[in-house]
Amino acid sequence: MSNLVTVPHNGTIANKTKNNFTNLSHWFDDMLNRDIPSVFNHLDYEMPKVNIKENAEAFTVELAVPGFDKKDFKLDLDHKVLSISAEIKEETENKEENYSRKEFGYASFKRTFTLPDSVDDEAINASYKDGVLSILLPKKEEAKQKPVRSIKIT
């Protein structure tokens, strides 16, 4: 008996019981993934995605972290290890004549990166705009890529 799952041409996995009913885990996943109205939907996310770019002058680290404010972030550098963390807490209360509803949410993350020796750790700076945290890691002068030069043969 095979435990392989059939993968249709559209790329989704069809995991059905022998009675052609979706199994309980898929039903449960479907229930959790429905659009339930909440003021905290922006808090429901995974670890932020990171882009790291390098050019001749510097490295740039970009994190996609919408829903945060600049004050929510904490950046630390300890022995060439850059730690980026953030925390956000929200609470709302809605009181009406016959009922009261109180909701709260919490989100946090922490990412760490070991910096190469070529980074000038005294010149690191960061900015936050449009949901993207950008950290500029300038290279030390001796680590910057030198332009190509021609050498004359004598």
Q: Each residue of 85-118: pLDDT tens digit?
A: 998 888 888 877 777 777 888 888 999 999 999 9
More confident of the two residues 153 and 5: 153
Confirm if 121 and 77 have CB atoms less than 8 A apart: yes
Which candidate, 134, 133, 138, 112, places its Cα nearest to that of 123? 138
For domain 41-143, which architecture applies? Answer: Sandwich (2.60)
Confirm if 84 and 133 have CB atoms less than 8 A apart: yes
Exposure string of 91-119, with b = 16+ CB inside 10 Å and e = fewer, is eeeeeeeeeeeeeebebebeeebebeeeb
Can you tell me which residue has the tokens 């021609």? Answer: 150
More confident of the two residues 32 and 81: 81
- Both structure tokens of 61: 């680290």
